[in-house]
Amino acid sequence: MRLTASAGVLAVVLGGCVGGKVQSTPSDGASTSGAATSLDELYGQDVSWSECGTDECASVVAPLDWDDLSSGTIEIAVERHVATGSDRKGSMLINPGGPGQSGIDFLGYAVSDVLGPDVLDAYDIVAFDPRGVGASTAVRCGGDAAIDAYLTADVDIRSQEDLDAARARVAEVGQACVDATGELMAHVDTISSAKDMDLLRAVVGDEKLNYLGYSYGTFLGATYAGIFPEKVGRFVLDGALDPSMSNDELGMQQAEGFEKALRAYVADCQAGLGCHLTGSVDDGMTQIRQLVDRAKARPLDAGGGQSVNSALAFYGIVVTLYDDSYWPYLTQALTEAITQNTASVLLQLANTYLDRSPDGSYSSNAMMAFTAINCVDYPIVDRDYDELVAFAAEVSAVAPTFGDQFALAAGCEAWPEQSTREPSAIAAAGAEPILVVGTTGDPATPYAWAQALAEQLDSGHLLTWEGEGHTAYGRGGACVSEVVEAYLLDATVPEDGKVC
């Protein structure tokens, strides 16, 4: 299992602890129309912008398959916040991560809580839902009931037969996605989305692409830079992925990252008041693991006829590790679970992570798009049960609390659409300076990944934030904002080794 989230979107939701969020309505992923006769036609299309609240919205036509323009077309949903100043620098695309998160849903938060006034004066902020996501031509997987059963199930793999059954379930759900989505399922890969971004650059009238990408958005941005280095403008890649990693490496290091983040939380909890995790940090970690194990043996009552099994408990815990300002919510959830053996707060937190309502319906397609995109991005390793157990033991050696949640599971090896991409470093030779931002306590994209990406990129420059949680710009205070915005506004890169 790999974890997906947009730090910005989670901030909006958890800030209300834990209300609903406005979501785009996915368009029908099965519908493609027409065919683009040429790249000139695509790049020269006349886009009609309409008023949507205080912003402008449009739909951009892209090819279903960039290698076969006769394959049909899809739509990319776009929303832009127009620059407020007179000295306009152009547009800046933004992506909140995932993969599978909606850029359009992220736009309001980015404008109100992340981007400084000088940046908003200078740039049209252009949000988009990548192919397969949200209001763009989207991955669809059938009804919410089937999706909910799949995403929230406790899967216990203790034999080859259990593994075969789990893979059969993945294959069944994946086929439902193919049936509902159609040919798009094979074309939601990051390379195709990067080519979509160049199309967006052209239709908004910019010679070069300016871009702010978080988390998975750094992989999307780095991929773009590798394909179109001469078109790179101001690029901020915050919470970086290392594009040279295999899926195994990514999963193992992310598991270790969440283990370290949970330890940091436990230490902080035990140093304060009202913490029900007793003894040492190790003891506290054991108590959290025991809680999750208890939820697997007998799901915890969450009120209103709802319950929390170990899968939901896991999601409810890890969602709070994306930002240390969320840690009090985890303390609240653990206090309830330990003292009352109930889990209403854990359920709210898990639902936040999943974009899930209490009735089991989903307000976005983020989780299924996440799987669809990753499975066409990363080559699989098809293990038998004994090999999978051995790998899970390696992961648990660095992440003993939740290592099996990351490793002992069926995955893309049973998904109907699989990757042909081989992970490799991206140099983007000839690109203008690119700013990579890493957070030392980032669980979802460990700091070493930012170091690796900055080193790989010929023009990479690393900014380090010494903090806890996922990503830095918008969370890391004045120092981070000043460095990022000096780069966006004046192309000033930080000195080597800059730390905030």
The number of CA neighbours under 13 Å toward the Cβ of 229 is 13
Cα distance between residue 51 and residue 254, in whole Å: 41
Per-residue pLDDT tens over the stretch 207-234: 999 999 999 999 999 999 999 999 999 9
The number of CA neighbours under 13 Å toward the Cβ of 82 is 10
DSSP letter for each residue of 313-362: HHHHHHGGGGBGGGHHHHHHHHHHHHHHSB-HHHHHHHHHHHTB-TTS-B
User: Which one of 105, 242, 442, 461 is the catalytic residue?
Assistant: 442
Enter the tokens of residue 320. 């709070």
Instruction: Give the pairing of strands 209-214 and 232-238.
Output: parallel
Chain centroid to CA 317: 17
DSSP letter for each residue of 446-490: -HHHHHHHHHHSTTEEEEEEEEEBS--TTTSHHHHHHHHHHHHHH
Mean of all residue pLDDT scores within the chain? 92
Q: Which domain holds residue 440?
A: 1-500
Enter the tokens of residue 231. 């078109």
Q: Residue 390 in contact with residue 405, Cβ under 8 Å? A: no
Q: Residue 61 in contact with residue 42, Cβ under 8 Å? A: yes
Q: Residue 458 in contact with residue 427, Cβ under 8 Å? A: yes
Q: How far is CA 372 from CA 43, 188, 216, 244, 285, in A?
A: 27, 7, 14, 20, 33
Q: How far is CA 200 from CA 46, 54, 102, 136, 144, in A?
A: 12, 21, 16, 13, 32
Cα distance between residue 149 and residue 134, in whole Å: 21
What CATH number corresponds to the domain at position 310? 3.40.50.1820
Residue 78 has a pLDDT of 98
Chain centroid to CA 112: 21
Helix boundaries (H) for 358-441: 366-377, 385-398, 403-407
User: Which one of 91, 215, 344, 363 is the catalytic residue?
Assistant: 215
Per-residue pLDDT tens over the stretch 127-147: 999 999 999 999 999 999 999
Torsion angle of C-alpha atoms 393, 395, 399, 400, degrees rounded to 10: -10
Residue 27 has a pLDDT of 47
Tens digit of each residue's pLDDT, the chain (500 residues): 566 655 554 544 443 333 222 333 444 443 445 666 789 999 999 999 999 999 999 999 999 999 999 999 999 999 999 998 888 999 999 999 999 999 999 999 999 999 999 999 999 999 999 999 999 999 999 999 999 999 999 999 999 999 999 999 999 999 999 999 999 999 999 999 999 999 999 999 999 999 999 999 999 999 999 999 999 999 999 999 999 999 999 999 999 999 999 999 999 999 998 999 999 999 999 999 999 999 999 999 999 999 999 999 999 999 999 999 999 999 999 999 999 999 999 999 999 999 999 888 999 999 999 999 999 999 988 899 999 999 999 999 999 999 988 999 999 999 999 898 899 999 999 999 999 999 999 999 999 999 999 999 999 999 999 999 999 999 999 999 999 999 999 999 999 999 99
Enter the tokens of residue 357. 């309502």
Q: How many residues does the chain have?
A: 500
Residue 86 has a pLDDT of 86
Residue 442 designated active-site: yes
Q: How many domains does the chain have?
A: 1
Q: Nearest CA to 41 among 14, 80, 69?
A: 69
Instruction: Give the pairing of strands 460-468 and 434-441.
Output: parallel
Residue 470 designated active-site: yes
Q: Nearest CA to 384 among 164, 130, 55?
A: 164
Enter the tokens of residue 297. 């043996």
Q: Please report where in the chains the tokens 């980015």 appear, as a residue.
A: 110
Residue 34 has a pLDDT of 65
Cα distance between residue 76 and residue 99, in whole Å: 15
Residue 36 has a pLDDT of 67
Cα distance between residue 103 and residue 98, in whole Å: 10
Angle (CA) 187-172-24 rounded to 5° is: 50
Beta strands in 104-190 (DSSP E): 123-128
User: Which one of 129, 206, 470, 481 is the catalytic residue?
Assistant: 470
3-state secondary structure of 387: helix
Cα distance between residue 321 and residue 384, in whole Å: 32
Residue 6 has a pLDDT of 55
Residue 477 has a pLDDT of 96
Please give the helix or strand (H or E) that residue 308 lies within, else none: strand 306-308
